[in-house]
Structure 1
Amino acid sequence: MAQSPFPIRSVRTPVLELAYEEHGAADGDPVVLLHGFPYDPRCYDEVAPALAAAGCRVVVPYLRGYGPTRFLSPETPRSGQQAALGRDLLDLMDALAIPRATLAGYDWGGRAACIVAALWPERVAGLVTATGYNIQDIAASVRPQAPETEHRYWYQYYFHTPRGRDGLAANRAELCKLLWRLWSPTWSFNDATYARSAASFDNPDFVEVVIQSYRHRFGYALGDPALEEIERALARQPTIGVPTIAFWGEDDGVTPPPAADGKRLRFTGHYERRLLPGVGHNVPQEAPEATVAAVLDLRRL
């Protein structure tokens, strides 16, 4: 299970026993740091203590399907759809009595942060998001994209098949390590670094949550009926008005930075795009100093 150098706590939300790590004073400015797929809170090991030293209360949760986080009921759908990630983040803030926080995330975690910033902006002081506007347009996902983009998404199409589900179940450590290498080709991580995060993929719900996530985003799987109202709101591609810094790793092997940010107009407040040379997909672990600086810059706005 999760190999954390920090104490792991948990809090009960309506559907999860949600595990998290916390740094800093309880009365510090709240910051929630959110990991992606296939990563875990270890990506913030150099970020969270630095923010705590700067006066922040830092919460780093394990997303549903990762590490010690568990569903409360066997009846709850093991959904990884975007609405579930956003709802989990809001529920976490409620359970920890955090009225308003700066949110930072990438990949799945960036999606959760964007969703809460868009639908519940009164709860968000600022947003740090890798790859910009991270809310899925599921209706548009049926349209073919450029062949180079389709090539990068091979793993998503693999997960659409029974073979892909079985492959993830049988080879999750090897498959996720391959994604790390492909998505961060210039990051020289070692086996020990990977193993510390890969322990979180042994969660009993990891495979089902991951497979449902990638099938739902293309309209190939039904969502959790309890989340349909949120999905309808997200289908309208809501704007984000909170102060935002958007990161793009210039060496990102799955979502490289476009020449022009096509969804820039989705942000209606302060917005800054920051390109990170020599950085791939796992922004906080590859560029911890830049991540800390972005959060602290938002606090000063």
Structure 2
Amino acid sequence: MRAGVLDIAYLESGPVDGWPCILSHGFPYDVETFAASAALLADAGARVIRPWLRGYGPTRFLSPETPRSGEQAALAADLLALMDALGIERAVLGGYDWGGRAACVVSALWPDRVVALVSGNSYNIQNIPRSGEPEAPEIEASYWYQYYFHSERGRRGLARDRRAMARTLWRMWSPRWDFDDASFDRTAASFENPDFVEVVIHSYRHRFGLVPGDPAYAHIETQLVAQPSIGVPTVAIDGDSDGVNAGTAGHRDHFTGAFDYRVFRGAGHNLPQERPADWAQAVMDARGMALSEPGHRKEMT
């Protein structure tokens, strides 16, 4: 589907007239992360859309002149553009990591487009002006790959063997997830996208203010400086074995609407693939929270 600056590839399941649900993956993952939960949601009547983000899988930029930005505002703009192209006025949005960030930004700035939100790692909007503030040493250590990508050595390392980098991160971030080679290979094919390295490197440099963003999204990034609250009904989730996120139980103040915080026991960073039934239930519960609100609007396809 041509949407904004991209030709976005996506998988769709469930009834075409079902309640819209868009699930967005993170780095370094792809649409396979939602395969099992999407099937459960489709059985529950959802029209499930699983897009490959910019720089992943078959998704492509329409023009060679478009900056290969991986900034949060670009990911949110892509999500909005896809909704517009598909004619989806409002949807349940779910995601984690990069995809969760896109869903959080849309929920914060365009709440009329969102029925409810399921967010891995809760409030997932980057506070770029404060990105230079140091964290506790154990948190800084978990961000080693981000600092690696800040250097030319890191860019070359990712370009040389993106599969090995991804497999290393999968193991570190989800130490209790016993994924097999076939599962990894199905996702790793998405890293062969010709823009993968450039988009990834830009993402991890931009969030620390090391490189400029795409001017086309400056108006979005400007609004995110204020760390806008999220007012749509939200289910926020952490894994208690997440090797890269220290936990987000303290994020409650960023949410002004109905809110439910959950911890998936034994799960790491890749929440939907590690706990597909729990993830699907969170999506259905978030929608239920929205439908139970007084004066709720009916979802429209």
For Structure 1 versus Structure 2, the TM-score category normalised by the shorter chain is: over 0.9
Distance 1:263 1:221 in 2: 27
Partner residue, 2:293: none
- Note the C-alpha offset of 1:234: 0.7
Distance 2:115 2:4 in 1: 24
Partner residue, 2:165: 175
- The answer to whether 1:152 aligns with 2:121 is no
Counterpart of 1:103 in structure 2: which amino acid? L
- The answer to whether 1:299 aligns with 2:284 is no
Match of 1:268 among 234, 237, 256: 256
Answer yes or no: is the 8 Å Cα contact 1:249–1:256 preserved in 2: no
Pairs within 5 Å for 1:33-182: 33-182=23-172
Percent same amino acid at aligned positions?
A: 60
Match of 2:204 among 214, 223, 227: 214
Counterpart of 1:169 in structure 2: which amino acid? A
Distance 2:222 2:288 in 1: 34
Distance 1:217 1:256 in 2: 18
SS at match of 2:33: helix
- The answer to whether 1:194 aligns with 2:194 is no
Partner residue, 1:257: 247
Counterpart of 1:206 in structure 2: which amino acid? F
Match of 1:279 among 250, 267, 270: 267
SS at match of 1:48: helix
Distance 2:246 2:274 in 1: 15
Runs of 5+ unmatched residues, structure 2: 290-301
- TM-score, normalised with respect to structure 2: 0.95
Counterpart of 1:295 in structure 2: which amino acid? V
Distance 2:254 2:134 in 1: 22
Distance 2:188 2:8 in 1: 18
Distance 2:105 2:50 in 1: 17
SS at match of 1:47: helix
Distance 2:259 2:288 in 1: 14
- The answer to whether 1:204 aligns with 2:194 is yes
Partner residue, 1:6: none
Q: How many residues align?
A: 289
Please list every run of at least 4 consecutive aligned residues from structure 1 whose deviation after the TM superposition is greater than 3 angstroms.
Answer: none
Answer yes or no: is the 8 Å Cα contact 2:139–2:246 preserved in 1: no
- Note the C-alpha offset of 1:298: 1.8
Distance 1:174 1:34 in 2: 23
- Note the C-alpha offset of 1:14: 2.0
Counterpart of 2:64 in structure 1: which amino acid? P
Distance 1:300 1:213 in 2: 34
Deviations 1:84-111 (CA, angstroms, capped at 9, x unpaired) = 0000000000000000000010000000
Distance 2:129 2:155 in 1: 24
- Note the C-alpha offset of 1:263: 2.5
Deviations 1:245-274 (CA, angstroms, capped at 9, x unpaired) = 00100000000325xx33211100001110
Distance 1:12 1:85 in 2: 15
Distance 1:189 1:279 in 2: 12
Runs of 5+ unmatched residues, structure 1: 1-10
Counterpart of 1:46 in structure 2: which amino acid? A
SS at match of 1:274: strand
Distance 1:246 1:25 in 2: 26
- TM-score, normalised with respect to structure 1: 0.95
- The answer to whether 1:289 aligns with 2:277 is yes
SS at match of 1:262: helix
Partner residue, 1:8: none
Distance 1:298 1:271 in 2: 9
